[in-house]
Structure 1
Amino acid sequence: MNSVIIAVVVMLVLSLLRVNVVLSLVIGGVIGGLTGGLSITETIAAFNDGLGGGAQVALSYGLLGGFAVAISKTGIPDLLIKGVLKIVRTKGDSENKALAKAVIFFFILLMAIFSQNLIPIHIAFIPLLIPPILKILNHFEVDRRLIACILTFGLVMPYMFLPYGFGAIYRDIVATQIGLSGLEIAGSDFTKAMAIPALGMIFGLGLAMFLYRKPRKYTQKDIKQEANQVIVSKKNILFTILSLIGAVVIQIYTDSMIIGALSGILILYITGTLKWKEADVILSDGMRMMAFVGFVIISANGFSSVINATGDVESLVEETLSILNGNVSLAVLLMLIIGLIITMGIGSSFATIPIIAAIFVPLSLELGLSTLAIICLIGTAGALGDAGSPASDSTLGPTAGLNVDGQHNHIWDTCVPTFIFYNIPLVIFGWIAVMFVL
């Protein structure tokens, strides 16, 4: 059997058995190298050679994590959330329930989108925003499965489509890994290539809103909230906004998330918004929060390097083409489903890209796909499974907020709905984009 298939299967099985993803990648890479004819020394050397390829993305993730925690300590997220709650409660007292619910849905969606691109705090806003409005949601008998779908949409679609914040990291991973696999691409092509899959997610969100529109009753329970100890000052708000604008502008100007995040952190330092004596702990906490994904990305690059060193990628491409007998549409569909399976197993779209790019890019080139189509294929295959995976932040975060009173099941109320309403449209719209548009 082809060593590439063996390596991927070993990695997937171990991941699905809840073996740590980093260990799964290392073990899968070693077994793949040995079965591909490499000695243990050559396998380890190939793995080590590939580790540096993920360092830039890992550092970007670490700095962005530190920046996110620093922003959360300034109090501006709390201020935004209090404003949202004030408006929601005002509308909630209104007799116009449809308008009140629309306001709630809009602000939840807005906060989720902002958490990925504008104010990159990822899922940290959910425990602050969702528990306080559960009583209002219960009063209106809002189906929490819909709220889970709204949150997951806001956590996935923006990074998949918009090249800012976490989206910049995702774009860089896609561009870097496609380049390492033999096809240099322009980062500016990313948004254009991912537009149709993004429309698929919008379609899925609309479908979820329609199907979960019926009332669902929940028991009203008192929820203990931790007291907010953050003191918000006008000066801190001003400098925090300045740091956010500075980070985005510098990221665009330099095309580097590392420099952008570093600039935002330095502005918080210099203005005194981030206290020097607290800065080390805050930044360390943020980097620690993102460290796991960083290690997975670095390990995945080593895995990819071993796969390429075996030389079996080319034979796998040739064998696959002969089996498919030139059936491009079936090949594209299979690649999308493989991406879905991998991401479902490891719970990270960001870490899936290095695993699939080494195989998908050569196969796509042999099939005659355009550059935009390949970007769309890799980007969509990576994002598939982020919604619906029990191990993904995009499902764990919504469940953490919606289940504080014990009335929201992680699998059946978050994972299953988000899997159905986002993964299925992503496969369909991604396939259409690759086959007929790009």
Structure 2
Amino acid sequence: MNAVIIAVVVMLALSLARVHVVLALLVGAITGGLLGGLGLATTIDVFSEGLGGSASVALSYGLLGGFAVAIAKTGLPDAMVKLAISLVGTKGDSRKKAASKALIFFIILLISCFSQNLVPIHIAFIPILIPPILKLLNELGVDRRAIATIITFGLTAPYILLPVGFGAIFHDILADNIVESGLAIDRSDIPLALSLPIGGMIIGLLVAVFFTYRKTRTYQDHQIAVDETDTPIMTKKSLIFAVIAILAALVVQLYTDSMIVAALAGLIVIFASGAAEYKKADDIVTDGMKMMAFIGFVMLAASGFAAVIRETGHVELLVEQVAGVIGDNRGLAAALMLIVGLFITMGIGSSFSTIPIIATLFVPLGLAVGFSPMAIIALIGTAGALGDAGAPASDSTLGPTAGLNADGQHDHIWDTCVPTFIHFNVPLLVFGWIAAMIF
């Protein structure tokens, strides 16, 4: 039996059985290494060496987490919440309420998208933005499943498409692993290759908001506990320097092409200006790193897993076997690759961590079947993103649920995971397949 298949199946089975994904990746790697004839000592050595492949990515995530919490401490997210509430009215006729719903949908979508690229604070905005407006959403009769799809779209589509902020990390992981797997590509081709799959996500978002969840849904007004001691002190100075810090991080990233340096620049501006209390700098950065630690460790383990899989030599054997069965049927090959990506991402819960695993297999398989470099980028990028929206362990679903369930009326699986899986993963499968056929 092929070591690659067994390793992936073991990793997925353990993940779905609620074994921590880092442990699942380690056990899967050891299983694959032993079956591939590497021996235990060599497998551990290769796994350990492979961890270095995602070290910079993990550090980027940690510093961005610190930057996100620091931005929250300036009061900028609170200011955005107050602005949103002041712009939205709940009293009046149905036409005014419809306009208010449209406006608040747009504001939540805008902030969600900005959290990945322009203001890379990831999910840190959700507990600040969503709980305070739940009563407002109740008055408007908003179905919270619509809000869940809006937030999840904003947490996923921007980083998949745009090479800025978390998108820069995703594109770097995608490009680096494709190159390591034997295919030279131009990074500037990634947005174009992934534009069609993102178009599918846009269609899914429109269907969710304007059709599936357009009707009103009734919720009870429950009291939401607020930690007053953790409320940031918002001043005009803190808001101004928060914006300057964001611009500084963006400019530095574009100039240096490094999210590590960009996040550091933003933190320096915030703490040097006093926008956030310098004496709490250690706690702020530590809290941010804790928020991102899970993703960072999963990405490290995924790189080690991929290194072991490559070292076994069974990737080439599997490619020959699969190519022999598929022949030149590119349509079938694309469908199988996307489905495999869906299962792996659903098991791991992170598209970032899926890329190192699937690139090892998909690059040689794609070349053997006859896919172009653009088609392979589209397949790996889409397959990696597949499942991120609907995975129960993904930040893209856990974040929205944490905010929308602040009053205990939003179910994680049925109100976040299922709606986002249907409206985003299904279109990604379809449009990712089409992209592979076109390019």
Specify if TM > 0.5.
Answer: yes
Query: In structure 2, what is the equivalent of residue 114 of structure 1?
Result: 114
Distance in 1 of aligned mates of 2:141 and 2:240: 38
Distance in 1 of aligned mates of 2:140 and 2:235: 35
Structure 1 residues 219 and 281 mapped into 2: Cα distance closer, same or farther (>3 Å)? closer
Superposition deviation, residue 354 in structure 1: 0.9
2:94 aligned with 1:92, yes or no?
Answer: no
Match for 1:49: what amino acid?
Answer: E
- Of 294, 297, 300, 1:295 maps to 297
CA shift digits 1:198-232 (9 cap, x unpaired):
11100000111212112222223333333363111
Q: Summarize the alignment of residues 183-222 of structure 1 with structure 2, pairs less than 5 Å apart.
A: 183-209=183-209, 210-222=211-223
Structure 1 residues 235 and 405 mapped into 2: Cα distance closer, same or farther (>3 Å)? closer
2:382 aligned with 1:401, yes or no?
Answer: no
Query: In structure 2, what is the equivalent of residue 286 of structure 1?
Result: 288
Superposition deviation, residue 8 in structure 1: 0.6
Query: In structure 2, what is the equivalent of residue 45 of structure 1?
Result: 45
Distance in 1 of aligned mates of 2:92 and 2:214: 19
Distance in 1 of aligned mates of 2:343 and 2:261: 34
Query: In structure 2, what is the equivalent of residue 327 of structure 1?
Result: 329
Q: Summarize the alignment of residues 355-366 of structure 1 with structure 2, pairs less than 5 Å apart.
A: 355-366=357-368
CA shift digits 1:226-285 (9 cap, x unpaired):
336311122222221111111111111111111211111122233233433211221111
Distance in 2 of aligned mates of 1:302 and 1:192: 30
CA shift digits 1:176-219 (9 cap, x unpaired):
11111112323222211111111110000011121211222222
Query: In structure 1, what is the equivalent of residue 63 of structure 2?
Result: 63
2:81 aligned with 1:81, yes or no?
Answer: yes
Distance in 2 of aligned mates of 1:48 and 1:407: 44
SS at match of 1:156: helix
Q: Does 126-135 or 3-12 show the bigger shift?
A: 126-135
SS at match of 1:194: helix
Distance in 1 of aligned mates of 2:309 and 2:408: 45
Q: Does 304-313 or 129-138 show the bigger shift?
A: 129-138
User: Is there any run of 5+ residues in structure 2 with no aligned partner, and where?
Assistant: none
Q: Summarize the alignment of residues 253-292 of structure 1 with structure 2, pairs less than 5 Å apart.
A: 253-292=255-294
Distance in 2 of aligned mates of 1:55 and 1:388: 27
Distance in 1 of aligned mates of 2:430 and 2:260: 34
2:231 aligned with 1:234, yes or no?
Answer: no
Superposition deviation, residue 87 in structure 1: 1.2
Match for 2:163: what amino acid?
Answer: P
Query: In structure 2, what is the equivalent of residue 3 of structure 1?
Result: 3
2:225 aligned with 1:224, yes or no?
Answer: yes
Match for 1:171: what amino acid?
Answer: H
Match for 2:422: what amino acid?
Answer: I
Q: Summarize the alignment of residues 344-355 of structure 1 with structure 2, pairs less than 5 Å apart.
A: 344-355=346-357
Distance in 2 of aligned mates of 1:355 and 1:270: 41
CA shift digits 1:95-139 (9 cap, x unpaired):
212111101111111111111112222112222222222222222
2:16 aligned with 1:16, yes or no?
Answer: yes
CA shift digits 1:154-196 (9 cap, x unpaired):
1111111111111111111111111111123232222111111
- 8 Å CA contact 1:94–1:100 kept in 2: the answer is no
Match for 2:354: what amino acid?
Answer: T
- 8 Å CA contact 2:62–2:293 kept in 1: the answer is yes
Q: Summarize the alignment of residues 114-193 of structure 1 with structure 2, pairs less than 5 Å apart.
A: 114-193=114-193
- Of 382, 398, 401, 2:384 maps to 382
- 8 Å CA contact 1:353–1:382 kept in 2: the answer is yes
Distance in 2 of aligned mates of 1:61 and 1:400: 20
Superposition deviation, residue 399 in structure 1: 1.3
Distance in 1 of aligned mates of 2:415 and 2:232: 33
Query: In structure 1, what is the equivalent of residue 414 of structure 2?
Result: 412
Match for 2:386: what amino acid?
Answer: L
SS at match of 1:188: helix
- 8 Å CA contact 2:72–2:232 kept in 1: the answer is no
Structure 1 residues 404 and 288 mapped into 2: Cα distance closer, same or farther (>3 Å)? closer
Match for 1:178: what amino acid?
Answer: I
Q: Does 220-229 or 158-167 show the bigger shift?
A: 220-229
Identity, % of aligned pairs?
Answer: 60
- Using the size of structure 1 for normalisation, the TM-score is 0.96
- Of 244, 247, 252, 2:246 maps to 244
SS at match of 1:116: coil
Distance in 2 of aligned mates of 1:219 and 1:239: 39
CA shift digits 1:378-405 (9 cap, x unpaired):
1111111011111111111111121222
Distance in 2 of aligned mates of 1:45 and 1:157: 36
Structure 1 residues 274 and 186 mapped into 2: Cα distance closer, same or farther (>3 Å)? farther
- 8 Å CA contact 2:33–2:312 kept in 1: the answer is yes
- 8 Å CA contact 2:328–2:370 kept in 1: the answer is no
Distance in 2 of aligned mates of 1:8 and 1:191: 28
Residues matched between the structures, number: 435
- 8 Å CA contact 1:36–1:310 kept in 2: the answer is yes
